[in-house]
Structure 1
Amino acid sequence: METFNDIYLNLSKQHGVARFAESGWGWKPSGGGDTFTLDHQQILSAQWSRAARGYEVKLLTRADGVIQLDGFKQDDFDRVAKLFKVWYGIPLENKEHALRGWNWGKAEFGKAELSFNVSNRPAFEIPYTEISNTNLAGKNEVAVDFSLTDGDAKANGLGGARGRGKKSAGAKDQLVEMRFYIPGTASKKEKNEDGEEVTDGEDAEEQNAAQLFYETLMDKAEIGEVAGDTFASFLEVLHLTPRGRFDIDMFETSFRLRGKTYDYKIQYDAVKKFMVLPKPDDIHTLITIGLDPPLRQGQTRYPFLVMQFKRDEEVNLDLNMTDELLETKYKDKLQSHYEAPIAMVVSDIFKGLSGKRITKPSREFVSHHEQAGVKCSIKANEGHLFCLDKAFMFVPKPATYISMDNIASVTMSRVGGAMAASRTFDITFTMKGGMAEHQFSNINREEQQPLENFFRAKGIKTKNEMADDSGALLAAALQDDDLASSDDGGAARGSADEDDESVDEDFEAESESDVAEEYDENHQSDSDDEMADGDEGDASGDEEEEQLVERPKKKQKTAK
């Protein structure tokens, strides 16, 4: 047995002891934790190169892809090379990296990683297990997204030879995206019977080099359909967040969103919330999925997916699943055939495959219009606020989730002046622990009582600042009703105070002949009343205020 101390496995935060024997090798962290072992038959090749903490041995394995052992000293090369040759029958290749610092080179797809070579030397390598997504960012540009740090990997400090995205757990900062500019065209390589790639010079298919790079990376990193059999597919589903139409493919452990520009593969483990929300328009149903880590489009993060389905749209679907698998693993969870509204089918299949609980609006809340949500706004963004049993959810943009456990109090207030306040009000959630507050505005005043009753039922401390100005609200409501019916008449009284009656008569005669009858009937009747009674035009300011509160009687319009 050969033993090496201070060795780091897959960029782990803590070092450990690596022991090699004839049957295989193992690594144990010095601070205690899980031991990693590998049988010698799993090793395909080995490479020695300079690395971050000295020298590393990089192994290509059958099941776990690329495994890195970092921290060897330069004098250890002879010992490591001898044990690999004698015990495993594998030569230890000494490989030097390109140090010129060039950002142009040639990309080479290996069995387990993508290598970027400069002058036939690797500048860097990217294991396929670290790639979460790729998309065409332009005609000649391909964007590669890397998996975000896994929570379990953070806890134990181990790298992730057996999981996606866990190698980056050893670093505080993390590279999340890389873009390749690939000009020109390239020939598509076909595989022969032995699995080797060959190119026929005469029949070679020329296509955009960036497109070929993108398709090859999708295949190698298992982002596309090669990840497994598709159990169910839904085409061109409208997404409100992120905006666009995506095809949804559901697999055993993940689901995929396929759009015209972006493709995403999302593991069911990344789904933290799943909500089915009936939209208050009685036409659509919203399915909202909370993700951690969130979805990324360039610099924009989307912690929630918001899908919209028509309630009357039904789907007839047969699951692409064997009867044996359906009976053994998904018994009482999935059905072989579905014939129901599409929103119900999507939620049932998702629940069966992922095992996630579906959250629906609370039965304790019913709006004034007998809906599960109320219309409101966050700043300039309109949407709907839904009351759940343990939280509040605003959709579609920005999708906001507020847990009741984090709410200190809620304040109901009016803003925007007397007329605006008579129709709408605002609610503000003050959060515990100094968290940023959430304000929802432009809520219909008819929803005040249902919301206030729900807050009290859930034991949320409620402050109603609208109760202090009930008298002002009554005056504003009366003024609002008066202006809604005879808004133009008030303007006519103001002009009568400034101009003489003869001008008004001439103006009225002209409007009587030129303006269509359906344009504004109230305008003519009010103007006729004012011209018939000249005292109204000479009324004082106090009398005009009384007229705003007490609606004046209209005289019957006479034909001229």
Structure 2
Amino acid sequence: MPSFHLLPSPVRVNVERELLPRHLQAVACPSLSLTTEAFNDIYLNLSKKHGITRFAESGWGWKPSQGGDTFTLDQSQIIQAQWSRAARGYEVKILSRSDGVIQLDGFKLEDFDRIAKLFKVWYGINLDNREHALRGWNWGKAEFGKAELSFNVNNRPAFEIPYTEISNTNLAGKNEVAVDFSLPADGADTGTNGSLGGARARGKKSGGAKDQLVEMRFYIPGTTSKKEKKEDGEDASDGEEAEEQNAAQFFYETLMDKAEIGEVAGDTFATFLDILHLTPRGRFDIDMYETSFRLRGKTYDYKIQFDSVKKFMVLPKPDDMHTLISIGLDPPLRQGQTRYPFLVMQFKRDEEVNLDLNMKEELLESQYKDKLQSHYEAPISVVVSDIFKGLSGKRITKPSRDFISHHEQAGVKCSIKANEGHLFCLDKAFMFVPKPATYISMDNIASVTMSRVGGAMAASRTFDITFTMKGGMAEHQFSNINREEQQPLENFFRAKGIKTKNEMADDSGAILAAALQDDDLASSDDGAANRGSADEDDESVDEDFQTESESEVGEEFDEDHRSSSGSDEEMADGGGDDEPELVERPKKKQKTAK
């Protein structure tokens, strides 16, 4: 049985009758013969800390018991009110005009009559007593209300989802819709602090709990009829034919409209079409706004605030053809169960764009002077990075000038397990792209170990580096690095003051001896014959050996071989230095026969 804690009785504030408004003195309601009604231990919007809430004729307010900012709501903003069972007892859910759904949790059952009377007398609103469905069914009917999505079972709500808590929605399949929930940057921020206050902070309620719901999926089979709206906004009459549409698609479009996911305040300043993303894989259109940017793909659609961007890196790919832009996000981007803390885009260096910024001259001069230009004509990677820097004010990080690879590039080719990519040396960190995108700050590095892994020949051509992290963090290993990059990397590590251990010097003698032994075996004919197909790695040796073996096989297995080449006695009589091959061939036959 679940346990419920009992809360203290509400505190009444007595005020002299002379201070009451005249119209309130005439109210024939003895329980409301006060200017305010106060209740202790009330939680606002799933907040972690309780507070005091006070109702008055002009509105109501909530203040944390341990100090903090107060949230208030004018009585003219109240549209509806609902009473229902909740986690900490009973809650009053208020629907406001500007702040959406506001929850007050922690009331006792005997508080219902008093709260219902004050809502009726002071606000002219009925407090509806609503019971939730407790059957536990996972199928029901979804209804879109003014401020929240309700999932009903047997005409009773099983749960409600405020639109302000939905950050994104996507079609996860033909009949499946995924709904992502907002996550606050700080777990202690529940929207009840600061100037935003309470429900005015979009997507802050989820910070109230230790465990947070991040995604929910709805399976919606079948089709539904979609009525076209007339020009005046009214729905078409029942006599007119309605358009048949996939039910999941209709649910998705309706939720996008209700939650205002596709809408971004302000106009689009710049748009870049069909940009290749290596992480997550796919092509997205990029729309740049004043405070955010949007990724529009065929399946997924994301709106990312500039405040969520923690890092912005421009990395020239070592192939002399592409430039990579990596964007670090916190909280990370999510696709189902996969989290992407970094976006990695790829641009062609020779692809140039002509772009006129969609911004009024007054705004450009007042807010973005010396930050943005009205017209751009440059490589697309340069235009994207310049506009992003101007709008967000973020610093652009580029590879360190202190490092140049053996091939005069900013990065070196390597692998993380089976994933190939490039490791870039920055001034204060290392960055591996594209997958898995890995950022390693130099402040967290305890030491770097350079070692060889594999056989003698493989180890002589490549080596590995391992970053040992401070504080017991997991180490990072990068393998299959070209042997020629050892000295540039080692010089960079020492220049940055990173403790470096070179284990390759210990086994250099063994590697050299193994390589010389392989050279001696390759130059020996008997060695080549004994190794058989091992010489297939060398094309020149393979051609010589194949030609010789074909001639020998033809002579040894030819039926006319003995009669054409003569008897052993004839070979002995005709021996000498003039025909050394004829004397040695029988030895090969005898050796083969053994």
TM-score range, shorter chain: 0.7 to 0.9
| Structure 2 residue matching 1:85: 3-state secondary structure | helix
Q: Deviations over 1:156-195 (max 9, x none)?
A: 8768512232111121112111111112211224456775
CA distance in 2, matches of 1:304, 1:456: 28
Secondary structure of 1:468's aligned partner = coil
2:448 is aligned, of 395, 410, 415, to 410
Asked whether the 8 Å contact 2:432–2:438 carries over to 1, the reply is: yes
Greater CA deviation, 232-241 or 220-229? 220-229
Residue among 61, 64, 89 paired with 2:96: 61
Q: Distance in 1 between matches of 2:267 and 2:368?
A: 15
Q: SS state of the match for residue 128, structure 2?
A: strand
Counterpart CA distance in 2 for 1:504 and 1:339 is 59
**1:558 is matched with which residue?**
none
Counterpart of 2:362, as a letter, is E
Match of 1:491 among 525, 528, 532: 528
Aligned position for 1:373: 411
Deviations, residues 175-226 of structure 1 (Å, cap 9, x unaligned): 1111111122112244567756555442322111110110111111122145
Q: Which amino acid aligns with 1:175?
A: L
For residue 153 of structure 1, report the CA deviation from its aligned partner: 3.8
2:136 corresponds to:
101
CA distance in structure 2 between the aligned counterparts of 1:366 and 1:417, rounded to whole angstroms: 28
List aligned pairs for 1:126-275, cutoff 5 A. 126-151=161-186, 153-154=188-189, 161-191=199-229, 197=235, 200-225=238-263, 227-275=265-313
The change in CA–CA distance for 1:504 and 1:53 in structure 2 (over 3 A counts) is closer
Equivalent residues in 2 for 1:330-345 (5 A)? 330-345=368-383
Q: Distance in 2 between matches of 1:238 and 1:246?
A: 7
Q: How far did residue 152 of structure 1 move?
A: 6.0
Task: Find the counterpart in structure 1 of residue 71 from structure 2.
Answer: 36
Equivalent residue letter for 2:124: G
In the alignment, which residue of structure 2 is the partner of 1:500? Answer: none
Of residues 187-196 and 158-167 in structure 1, the stretch that sits farther from structure 2 once superposed is 187-196
Partner of 1:507: 549
Q: What is the CA–CA distance in structure 1 between the aligned matches of 2:330 and 2:582, rounded to whole Å?
A: 72
Shift of 1:84: 2.2
In structure 1, distance between residues paired with 2:376 and 2:526? 61
Task: Quote the residue 1:350 is aligned against.
Answer: 388
Match of 1:24 in 2: 59
> Secondary structure at 2:350's aligned position in 1?
coil
- C-alpha separation between the residues in 2 aligned to 1:230 and 1:467? 58
Report the CA distance shift for 1:73/1:441 in structure 2 as closer, same or farther (over 3 A): same
Query: Cα gap change, 1:465/1:5 in structure 2, threshold over 3 Å: closer, same or farther?
Result: same
Aligned partners of 1:533, 1:95: CA distance in 2, in Å? 108
SS at match of 2:507: helix
- 1:546-557 correspondence to structure 2 within 5 Å: none
Measured in 2, the distance between the counterparts of 1:434 and 1:34 equals 39
Selected match of 1:301 from 339, 342, 356? 339
CA gap 1:229/1:491 in 2 versus in 1, 3 angstroms: same
The letter for the 2-side match of 1:5 is N
Seq. identity, % = 85
Amino acid aligned to 2:528: A
**Partner of 2:153 in structure 1?**
118
1:527 aligned partner: none
- What is the rounded CA distance, in whole Å, between the counterparts of 2:554 and 2:312 in structure 1? 62
**2:537 maps to what in 1?**
none
Question: Would the alpha carbon gap of residues 326 and 533 (structure 1) be closer, same or farther in structure 2, given more than 3 Å must change?
Answer: farther
Residues 1:226 and 1:106: Cα distance change in structure 2 (over 3 Å): farther
Per-residue deviation at 1:237? 0.9
**Structure 2 unmatched runs, 5+:** 1-35, 534-544, 556-579, 589-594
Matching residue of 2:82? 47
Q: Secondary structure of 1:261's partner?
A: coil
Q: What secondary structure is seen at the aligned counterpart in 1 of 2:199?
A: coil
Q: 1:69 to 1:162 in 2, by over 3 A?
A: same
CA positional deviation for 1:473: 3.9
Q: Give deviations 1:499-539, integer Å, cap 9, x for gaps.
A: xxxx99973537999xxxxxxxxxxxxxxxx979979x99x
**TM norm structure 1:** 0.85
| Residue of 301, 322, 341 corresponding to 1:284 | 322
Distance 1:493 1:183 in 2: 68
Q: Does 1:15 align with 2:53?
A: no
Q: 1:30 to 1:114 in 2, by over 3 A?
A: same
RMSD (CA atoms): 3.0
> d(CA) in 2 for partners of 1:510 and 1:333?
78
Which one-letter code corresponds to 1:413 in the other structure? S
| In structure 2, C-alpha distance between the alignment counterparts of 1:487 and 1:247, rounded to whole Å | 62
Shift of 1:476: 4.8
Q: Which amino acid aligns with 2:391?
A: L
Structure 1 stretch displaced more, 334-343 or 430-439:
334-343
Write the distance in 1 (CA, Å) between the matches of 2:229 and 2:526. Answer: 83
TM-superposed deviation, 1:229 = 2.4
Match of 2:352, as an amino acid? E
Rate the CA distance shift 1:298–1:494 in 2: closer, same or farther, 3 A: closer
Residue pair 1:234, 1:248 contacting (<8 A) in 2 also: yes
Q: Cα distance 1:197–1:90, how it changes in 2: closer, same or farther (>3 A)? A: farther
Q: CA deviation at 1:55?
A: 1.6
Q: Which residue of 1 aligns with 2:562?
A: none
Helix, strand or coil for the counterpart of 1:467? coil
Q: Distance in 2 between matches of 1:86 and 1:293?
A: 45
The 3 A distance-change label for structure 1 pair 61 and 190 is: farther
CA contact (8 A) 1:14 1:157 kept: no
Q: Distance in 2 between matches of 1:66 and 1:482?
A: 82
Amino acid across the alignment from 1:290: G
Alignment of structure 1 residues 535-546 onto 2, 5 Å: none
Alpha-carbon distance between aligned partners in 2 of 1:531 and 1:160, rounded to the nearest angstrom: 99
Whether the 8 Å CA contact 1:13–1:157 is kept in 2: the answer is no
Paired position in structure 2 for 1:451: 489
Distance 1:78-1:444 versus aligned 2 partners, 3 A rule: same
Which AA in structure 2 matches 1:32? G
Deviation (angstroms), 1:155: 8.2
CA–CA distance in structure 1, aligned partners of residues 402 and 524 of structure 2:
41
Q: Which moved more, 1:149-158 or 1:276-285?
A: 149-158
The reply on whether 1:310 has 2:348 as its aligned counterpart is: yes
Distance in 2 (CA, whole Å) between partners of 1:39 and 1:21 is 10
- Report the Cα distance in structure 2 between the residues aligned to 1:174 and 1:119, rounded to whole angstroms: 27
TM-score (norm 2): 0.80
Distance 1:82 1:481, change over 3 A: farther
Closer/same/farther in 2, CA of residues 532 and 244 from structure 1, 3 Å limit: farther
Q: Distance in 1 between matches of 2:209 and 2:260?
A: 25
SS of the equivalent of 1:346 reads helix
Rounded to whole Å, the distance in 1 between the matches of 2:547 and 2:153 is: 90
- 1:300 is displaced (CA, Å) by 1.2
Report the alpha carbon displacement of residue 287 of structure 1 after superposing the two structures with TM: 0.6
CA contact (8 A) 2:192 2:199 kept: no
Please state if 1:92 is matched with 2:130. no
Instruction: Note the alpha carbon deviations across 1:72-110, whole angstroms, 9 max, x for none.
Output: 122222222222233223332222222232222221111
Gaps of 5+ in 1: 497-502, 514-529, 539-560
